[in-house]
């Protein structure tokens, strides 16, 4: 392996690829397991798995489900299957907040399809609603990845008439539908945060939430977790932001100005980082500092995905791992195209708590 290289995934991939191309492995020979590779190279099994995935993408090795990973022949590499994938998702405004919150997930899924030698076709919402047009656009398509924002009574009727694998992605709650689904397990990260909130036993907790489905879902999970853990329901105060902050952050800022006179010593849970940034801006104008005058827990962790309105990360937040969700969405769809399944697959990507300046800092 190259000395000094920081990217261990590439390090392992390069070492294994060199051995394969030199003929150190015979065609059809089984590679070591991820656990064995991890021990050999001194990395996590996740890093080892990523390195093997890169070899699979290049056609150097192939995996047999439940059996292992095997070296492919040159002929097998040339015959690598190329699929045509349809991605149904919204076209977002080219803003840093949109890209970090939403656009990154679709972009990474599409990149994963390209890496696996697939063609990608983008489909908009009006097309999904018009079945004849939808069916025409899907001619020759092997699978469909569709965002949860496109799933409603009109589109579900059309989706049920299709005979190709369908994966619904970007979910935060399971849908009662016969399709494969990828979602965040919000309860895991929120329960972790609630444990820390209860240790502090705040006199009052303010929940600031957006009225859209995801905002409602996050609010309900946080509130139920608090009450189930013994926090008094009467000490929870709720404030709804009717406008999606990604579209218009002014209502969130105005709410922050309104709350400035009452947040001293209280704990705030916001269901969106974008809302939280507007609240912080309003609070700072009133000389209030998060972590000192009040505590603020947020959701999204956009600061880890490139959106830094305050120059450096500051929000304690529930991390919804967008990169992992996007990668897993693409993998699940390709897996269903290749192998098929008699039942719907539901994958839950766990969230986690990321502690920064605004809450839980010792």
Lowest-confidence pick of 72-86, 218-232, 264-278, 301-315:
72-86
Spatial distance between the Cα atoms of 166 and 173, rounded to a whole number of angstroms: 17
Span 125-171, pLDDT tens digits: 999 999 999 999 999 999 999 999 899 999 999 999 999 999 999 99
Identical fold, 8-78 and 187-321: no
What is the rounded end-to-end Cα distance, in angstroms, of the chain?
Answer: 41
Q: Cα(326)–Cα(183) distance, rounded to whole angstroms? A: 10
pLDDT given for residue 75 in this prediction: 59
- Would you say domain 84-185+322-350 falls under CATH 3.40.50.2300? yes
Is it true that domain 187-321 has CATH number 3.90.420.10? no
Name the pLDDT band for 210 (thresholds 50, 70, 90).
very high
How high is the pLDDT of residue 360? 94
Mean per-residue pLDDT over the chain, rounded = 89
> Alpha-carbon distance 216 to 228, whole Å?
18
Q: In the chain, what are the domain boundaries?
A: 8-78, 84-185+322-350, 187-321
Q: Which CATH number, 1.10.600.10, 1.10.3330.10, 1.10.10.10, 3.60.20.10, labels domain 8-78? A: 1.10.10.10
Quick one: what percent of the chain has pLDDT higher than 70? 93
Output 232 or 247, whichever has higher pLDDT.
Answer: 232
Token pair of 74, please? Answer: 């040159």
Give me the count of residues in the chain: 362
Given a cut of 80, whether residue 270 has pLDDT beyond it is yes
Work out whether the CA dihedral 99, 102, 103, 104 comes out positive or negative: positive
Percent of the chain with pLDDT over 90: 61
Quickly state the pLDDT bin for 182 (edges 50, 70, 90): very high
Please tell me the predicted confidence (pLDDT) of residue 66: 62
Task: List the Cα angle 215/220/224 in 5-degree steps.
Answer: 155
Partnered with residue 269 across adjacent β-strands are 207, 297
Task: Tokens 């940034």: give the residue.
Answer: 277
Q: Is the pLDDT of residue 3 over 80?
A: no
């Amino acid at each position: 392996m190259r000395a000094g290289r920081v990217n261990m995934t590439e390090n392992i991939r390069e070492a294994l690829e060199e051995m394969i191309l030199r003929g150190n492995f015979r065609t059809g020979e089984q590679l070591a397991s991820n656990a064995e590779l991890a021990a050999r190279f001194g990395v996590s099994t996740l890093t080892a798995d990523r390195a093997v995935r890169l070899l699979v993408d290049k056609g150097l090795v192939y995996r047999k489900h439940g059996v292992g990973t095997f070296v492919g022949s040159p002929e097998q590499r040339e015959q690598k299957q190329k699929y045509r994938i349809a991605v149904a998702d919204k076209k977002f405004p080219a803003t840093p907040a949109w890209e970090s919150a939403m656009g990154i997930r679709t972009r990474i899924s599409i990149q994963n399809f390209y890496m696996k030698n697939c063609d990608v076709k983008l489909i908009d919402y009006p097309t999904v609603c018009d079945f004849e047009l939808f069916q025409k656009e899907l001619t020759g398509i092997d699978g469909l990845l569709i965002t949860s924002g496109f799933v409603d009574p009109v589109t579900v009727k059309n989706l049920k008439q299709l005979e190709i694998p369908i994966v619904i992605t970007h979910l935060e709650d399971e849908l009662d539908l016969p399709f494969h689904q990828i979602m965040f397990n919000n309860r895991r990260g929120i329960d972790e945060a609630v444990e820390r909130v209860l240790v502090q036993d705040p006199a009052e907790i303010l929940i600031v939430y957006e009225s859209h489905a995801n905002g409602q879902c996050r609010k309900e999970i946080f509130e139920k977790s608090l009450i189930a853990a013994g926090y008094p329901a009467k000490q929870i105060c709720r404030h709804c932001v009717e406008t999606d902050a990604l579209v218009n952050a002014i209502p969130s800022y105005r709410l922050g100005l309104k709350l400035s006179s009452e947040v001293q010593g209280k704990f705030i849970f916001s269901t969106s980082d974008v809302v939280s940034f507007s609240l912080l801006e309003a609070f700072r104008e009133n000389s209030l500092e998060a972590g000192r005058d009040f505590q603020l827990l947020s959701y999204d962790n956009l600061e880890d995905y490139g959106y830094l309105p305050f120059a450096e990360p500051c929000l304690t937040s529930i991390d919804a791992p967008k990169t992992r969700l996007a990668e897993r969405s693409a993998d699940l769809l390709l897996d269903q195209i290749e192998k098929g399944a008699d039942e719907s697959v539901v994958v839950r990507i766990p969230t986690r708590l990321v502690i920064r300046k605004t809450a839980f800092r010792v």
